[in-house]
Structures are given as structure tokens and as C-alpha cells.
Structure 1
Amino acid sequence: MATDQAPDNNECANHDDQRRAVASCLLNYLNVHGKSKQLFSILRFLAEETLSNLEEGKTPHFNYFAIRTSVTGETQGDASAWFSRYWKEICGDFKLRCEEGIQKFAADQGLSFYPWIQKLESDGGAGNQALISLVALPLSAPVTTDSIKHFVPKHDIAYIPAEKLELSWWAKLLFDQNRIAGGWRKWILILGPIVWATTIGLGGVFLLYLLGLSATPVTTRDVVLLIYLGLLVWYASRLIRRFTHLVDDRMIVASETMITSKESGVCLELFRPNGGVSDAPKIARMIKYAAQCPICGAQVLLDRGEPDFPRRIVGRCQESPREHVFSFDRTLMTGRWLRRLEL
């Protein structure tokens, strides 16, 4: 009897180990990419309580009431109706936005599966609720159409697209819900700085022309006009520089005017669909990449490399932004540590 029972015990142990792995993976993912929204609070509850239940030898299945009580503190009302709207988001918008990133995050941690959420329907009857739990799903086989992607060099950090970001009101007019600007919107975005710089340049020439016509000594008004002219020239050169950097480097850190005051680490990128192997024209998108710092575990976001790494976009740890600095390869989505470790 003991011999017959051993495979079952081993299977259960392996299943529990897999659950621990996906719960830990999801918790690490939330520490880097999570938001302060109830949906992410639900995911954090599932990850933390799964680990806790497994330590206590309990089955990590949770009903709607337990989830809602932990997330909101409410004990009255229909918990099923409360959870249903989040379940709809998990199966819809959240799945489209985040499932691929979670898969890559799990693969970077050496797993062959990734965490997801499943619903175990009840048999019905008054008071019976469906149970929610974490499940390990197999990773999709990577699709590599470019030969360079068959070999990923040694790296210290791996980036994935971060959670949904908030654009400023005027940027929302140019970018769709996926934060992509194509067609005429892309050309407005790219050629807009050129038009502004040209207009500013013509305005500067006109101001110099007016000053040249004056036969009177330099007045306070003339000095103010010269100051305005200097500011306009500086602003025009800044616009031209951003335009040339975007065209040459394919990616720049997004202007503060394009995002809300709460956002950071957002970039403006030119890319071709389907991994750059198609003949489709390049399109522009707003994107935010993030990673987990391998040194301290904090979130790493992209930022300008200046002054130490000019003309580069680097990953900066949010807890030690001057010391924990990493390179960023937007093709391989990896980076190396740019600071030498002093022992």
C-alpha cells in the first residue's frame, strides 16, 4: 500500500512546489509592475495567501467573500457581484496587456510555466460560491523570426513592458488606446517639432530685422526682445535635437508634457510591427519598460543616461538611481550593469 501511495504523495508535493513557484513569481512581478488598484490588490492577496496556505498545509482556494474582505474590508453585500467585474477585466483587458509580460517575467526567473488565475465553479446551491486560485500555465514557445534572437547574450537584467500608463490630454489626441500613433498622427508627432522650430526661427529673424531698423540707442525694450529671441533659439534647438535623436536612435525619453505628473520612465519609440521583420512603415508608440533590480529588488525604470552615459537610455533603480544603473537593449530587452562593483 505504501508503494502505491508514494507516487500520489510525490505528485501532490510537486504540485505544491509548482504553486509556491507561481505564487512567488506573481508576488515578485507585482513588486515591480503592480499598481495601487484593487485588481492588483486581488492578485497580491492570491499570491500571499497561496504561500501562507501552503505553509499551513491548507488548499489555496479562496471564495469571493474572503477576497473582498481582505481587499476592501467590506463584510456586507454581494461579494460575487463585486468580484465579477474584476474577473471580466482579468479575462479581457488585463489579459491583453499583461499576460505576455508575465510570461517573459516567469521565463527570466527560469520557470517553464507562468502564474495565472483560475475559477473553479461550484456545484450550485444557496451560499455556494466559485473558488479562485492560482494556476501554473505552460509558457508559450518563443517565436523567433530574426536570427539574432536565437542567441541572447549574458545579461544582468531583463525588461518587460510595464503596466498601463497615463498620457497627457493632448497626447491622447495623437495616440490610440494602445498608445500607438500611425499614419497622419505619426507625421504630426514627428514633423510637429520641425514646424515649430521653423516658425520660431522665422520669428527670430523677424525680431532681428526689427532691431536692425531701429536708429535709436538700445533700450530696455530691445534688451527684452533679445532675451526672448535667445529663449526662442534655445527652445528651437531643443526641438530639433529631440527630433534628430528620435530618428537616429529610434527611442527617446518622452517629454514631460506628454505624460501626467504621476508618470515616469516613459519613452517615445519608433518601431516596425512584427518584430521589425515586416515591410510595414514604422509607427510611433508610447511605451514604459520596467525590471526588477538584481541588487536590491526595487523597480528599475528607463531614464536619460546623462551626465555619465550621454546619448543613452539607461535603466535606473528607483532606490539607488546613481549607482544601480543598467544598459538597455530594446531589441533583446536585456541590459548589463554599467557600474563596476567595488569589493
Structure 2
Amino acid sequence: MEVNQSHSAIKCGAKFIEEYDGPSAHTQPYDVLKRIFAHGSRQDGSNDEAVVFTWQDLADDADALDEGKRLKRNIKKAIVRLDEHQDKLNEIATEYNLKYRPVIVQLETGGGSGNLSRYKVQPVIADTKSVVKASEVPEGYIRYSLENIKKHNRLARLINGFDATGLKFHALTGTVLVAIILGTIISIAGLFSLTAQTSVFGLLSTLLNTSLALGALFVAFSPLYLCITNRIIVAPTILVPSNLHTLQLEYSPTDKKRADGSTVREFRIVSYVSKCSICGDRVEVENGLGAMRGRLVGRCNASPREHVFTFDHITRLGAPIFSEYQEICATSLRN
């Protein structure tokens, strides 16, 4: 192994735990991650071997009471949680000029008290090409990063990772066309029905029924159409787990190519988040209102009406929308 790979990965993980302030930051899996990287930091910095540990290396007095049963469960959860933050780890690696980010893997499963499960902090080359350094972010702007979702519901699992290739591509385009045709048929049928009515009640009833049918069609199919055309939208509520406020549905390019050379895209359910440059609270992406209607914006959890930012999923940067906060950010940075 190249010298300092392990040191680089451990430092990246330790910085992540130090800076992470998401909604689960104070839960037990993240406490276990903190212990893992603290244990790794205590190892010889010149050692180029990956850090290997068992639950006993992380245990405190409370863990000894149940022979580490709860700690073992939380180690497994911690492995999953860390994998959910690959984007943030790449961002931290870029920020601190580190070449590697950590991945925790289980080496072997213990078969009794004398054969403990062993885990390794595996260094993986960080993807630093697409990350904007904090020093390069314009003053007052925020930098968005991706947080993976811990657990999708059944419908979300069907959609997440659905790539538009082969029969699936034809089914996708066919669904959009069918929705457009149905909307046209309902509209024409509604107009004909209106002309045939002879009473006010009949007119109102027909208008209401036609509007309900078109509304139901719009609710059912518009997210698909809007996501394909706009590339990213706020995910429909039915796709969002009950413990989360908002997610995004993204029509993202993949490494696959069609026969004509065009890029294959796939649907991804993602969560773009940031840290408010005004107050430091968490920023989440939602639909814009007023002058920002039709666009996505970042809203601060502490002040969602005032601390509002633009959102671009390509550059992953956002600027304060209200001019007074642009001035506040500029002043605070100068001071």
C-alpha cells in the first residue's frame, strides 16, 4: 500500500465526524464512527497498513456490561451510515488536500468469544474533480453536497436507479405520450359535453368532473414529465420517507451510452443539503415561491422565509436571493 493512504483516509473520516451536523449527527452510529476514527488516529501515523479493529478496541465501560452486543449492532449501522456520505467525504478530501476517503469493511465474522469480528478502514481514492473548494466559493454563496437516503420505501426503491435503456426507455416515453393523449381526449370530451348541457347544474357538474380528471392525470404523470424536461424536481411526497422533510428526484446521466452515442440517464432520489452562510443552520432544497416559482431553492431550517438561496445541481452552488443578505454575508466575511 502506498505510504500515508491509511493516514489520509483516517484524517478524512475524522474531519467528517467533526463537521457533520445533520439530523442524525448525535445518534449512536455516528458516535461509533467517531470512536473508529479516534482509534485510527491513535495508530502510528507512519504505518502504511490499513487500520483494523474489533468491537473491543472501541468499547467503553458501558459496552462491557452486555459484552458489546449493542456496540456490535451499531458498528454495522455505522458502516452503512458512512457509505451514505461518499459525496461529503469527497468534499472534505478536496478541502484538506487528501487523496483518500475511508470505507469500512468487515474482514471476517466472529464465531464465538475467542473469534471476534474484525473490521478494516479501507482507503479509497477520493473523487475530487467535481468538488468546488471552499476557497473558490464566491463570498456569501453556499456549497451543496449530496446525502444518501438511509432507507427508501417500496415505490422509491422501484424508481431509484431506473435507467432509460432498451424497453424501459420505450416504456418511459410511451407513458409520457399516453398521458398527453389522455389529457387531450379528456379536454376534448369535456368541451363537447359542455356544449351539450342545457342547465347551469349540468355545466358546473361537467366542468368539475373534467377538472378533476385532468387534475388527477396531472398529479399522476407531471412529476415524470417535469423530471425528464427539467432534470431535477422536488420528489413527490409519496417517495419521501416519513422522517424526512424533502428529497429531490433527479434524471441523472450515467456512464452508459446508447447506440447513437447519446448518454443514458437514470432516475435517482437524492438529498442536496448545505450549511447556511448567514446563520450556519442546515439548508434543504424545496420548490421556490413568488419570483422563484418554477425553480428550486435552498431554504434554511432556522429561517426558511428569509435565508433563501438559489440552487444549481450542476455547479452545486447557491447565492442568497435577497440582496440585504448578500451585503450581510460580504460584511461578515470582510470582518
TM-score interval (norm. to shorter): 0.5 to 0.7
Q: Distance in 1 between matches of 2:115 and 2:153?
A: 45
Give the partner amino acid of 1:23: A
Structure 1 unaligned spans of 5+: 1-15, 54-60
**In structure 2, what is the equivalent of residue 196 of structure 1?**
179
Alpha-carbon spacing, 1:62–1:274, altered in 2? closer, same or farther (3 Å): closer
1:118, distance to aligned residue in structure 2 (A): 7.4
1:211, distance to aligned residue in structure 2 (A): 4.7
Q: 1:32 touches 1:291 (CA, 8 Å); kept in 2?
A: no
Q: SS in structure 1 opposite 2:30?
A: helix
Structure 2 unaligned spans of 5+: 1-6, 43-51, 108-112, 329-335
- Per-residue CA deviations over 1:194-227 (Å, capped at 9, x if unaligned) read 5335324423433443454455x333x6533321
Q: Distance in 1 between matches of 2:322 and 2:284?
A: 16
**In structure 2, what is the equivalent of residue 28 of structure 1?**
19
- Per-residue CA deviations over 1:40-83 (Å, capped at 9, x if unaligned) read 34225557x78xx9xxxxxxx9973685668xx66533327952
In the superposition, the TM-score normalised over structure 2's length comes to 0.65
Aligned residues: 303
1:296-311 to 2 correspondences below 5 Å = 296-311=279-294
Give the partner amino acid of 1:28: E
Q: 2:275 touches 2:282 (CA, 8 Å); kept in 1?
A: yes
1:94, distance to aligned residue in structure 2 (A): 5.1
Q: 2:82 touches 2:103 (CA, 8 Å); kept in 1?
A: no
Alpha-carbon spacing, 1:194–1:138, altered in 2? closer, same or farther (3 Å): closer
In the alignment, which of 238, 241, 244 is matched to residue 257 of structure 1? 238
In the alignment, which of 145, 155, 165 is matched to residue 170 of structure 1? 155
Give the partner amino acid of 1:231: L
1:133-148 to 2 correspondences below 5 Å = 140=126, 142-143=128-129
In the alignment, which of 90, 105, 109 is matched to residue 104 of structure 1? 90
Q: Distance in 2 between matches of 1:167 and 1:259?
A: 8
Q: Distance in 1 between matches of 2:191 and 2:322?
A: 48
Q: Distance in 1 between matches of 2:210 and 2:316?
A: 43
1:251, distance to aligned residue in structure 2 (A): 1.4
1:317, distance to aligned residue in structure 2 (A): 1.7
Q: 2:235 touches 2:247 (CA, 8 Å); kept in 1?
A: yes
1:1-343 to 2 correspondences below 5 Å = 23-29=14-20, 31-32=21-22, 34=24, 38-44=28-34, 64=55, 75-79=64-68, 83=72, 86-87=75-76, 90=79, 96-98=83-85, 100-107=86-93, 109-112=95-98, 116=102, 140=126, 142-143=128-129, 154-155=137-138, 156-175=141-160, 179-183=161-165, 184-185=167-168, 188=171, 191-192=174-175, 194-214=177-197, 217-219=199-201, 222-236=203-217, 242=223, 245-274=226-255, 279-340=262-323, 341=325, 342-343=327-328
Give the partner amino acid of 1:154: V
Q: Distance in 2 between matches of 1:261 and 1:112?
A: 36
Give the partner amino acid of 1:318: N
Q: SS in structure 2 opposite 1:295?
A: coil
Q: 1:160 touches 1:333 (CA, 8 Å); kept in 2?
A: yes
Q: SS in structure 2 opposite 1:297?
A: coil
- Bigger Cα displacement from structure 2, 73-82 vs 319-328: 73-82
Q: SS in structure 1 opposite 2:178?
A: helix
Q: Distance in 2 between matches of 1:282 and 1:21?
A: 31
Calculate percent identity across the aligned residue pairs: 18
Q: SS in structure 2 opposite 1:78?
A: coil
Q: 1:103 touches 1:139 (CA, 8 Å); kept in 2?
A: no
In the superposition, the TM-score normalised over structure 1's length comes to 0.64
- Per-residue CA deviations over 1:114-170 (Å, capped at 9, x if unaligned) read 674779x9xxxx8898999999x69636457xxx999x9634322222032544433
Give the partner amino acid of 1:218: V
Q: Distance in 2 between matches of 1:307 and 1:108?
A: 36
- Bigger Cα displacement from structure 2, 282-291 vs 259-268: 259-268
Alpha-carbon spacing, 1:294–1:218, altered in 2? closer, same or farther (3 Å): closer
Q: 2:308 touches 2:321 (CA, 8 Å); kept in 1?
A: yes
1:295, distance to aligned residue in structure 2 (A): 3.1
Which has the greater radius of gyration? 1
Superposed CA RMSD in Å reads 5.0
Q: Distance in 2 between matches of 1:315 and 1:76?
A: 45
Q: Distance in 1 between matches of 2:169 and 2:63?
A: 47
Alpha-carbon spacing, 1:204–1:141, altered in 2? closer, same or farther (3 Å): closer
Q: 1:104 touches 1:160 (CA, 8 Å); kept in 2?
A: no
Q: SS in structure 2 opposite 1:308?
A: helix
